[in-house]
Amino acid sequence: MKYLAVLASIIAVAVADTPVTGNWTLYCGSSCDSTTEAASGTLTSGDGCARFDSTFEYCRFEGTYFFLAGLDSDPNCHGTEGVTLAPGDCTSAGKWFTHEISAFL
């Protein structure tokens, strides 16, 4: 029994020291089935407000479960007509100028 307690302690420390990693990608175009990669990043890159190279009608968000994507119709990420996407979600029709990614760990 004592050995199980020691083993459990070792596993707990190993899990606590494991770094969290993740990736995200926004696929945007004329439909939710678009395979055009409009933006991508990781836990440590690409998470601030950024403009797309062009305006998109639909965007689908793919990524690790703890990411959320905010899309906005305002070129400066301060509009009132934004939408938040979880991984696997797609927007309805709109004109999306900017994106901002958040991670909730």
Residue 55 pLDDT? 81
pLDDT, tens only, 30-89: 899 988 899 898 887 766 788 888 888 899 999 988 899 988 888 777 766 688 999 999
Asked whether the beta carbons of 28 and 38 are under 8 A apart, the reply is: yes
Between 10 and 97, residue with greater pLDDT:
97
Q: What's phi and psi for 19, nearest 5 deg? A: -70, 150
Between 78 and 6, residue with greater pLDDT:
78
Asked whether the beta carbons of 70 and 94 are under 8 A apart, the reply is: no
Half-sphere exposure (CA, 13 Å, Cβ side) for 74?
A: 11
Residues 6+ apart with CB under 8 A from 27: 34, 35, 36, 37, 38, 59, 60, 62
Domain boundaries, the chain: 29-103
Residue 88 pLDDT? 95
Question: Residue 90 pLDDT more than 90?
Answer: yes
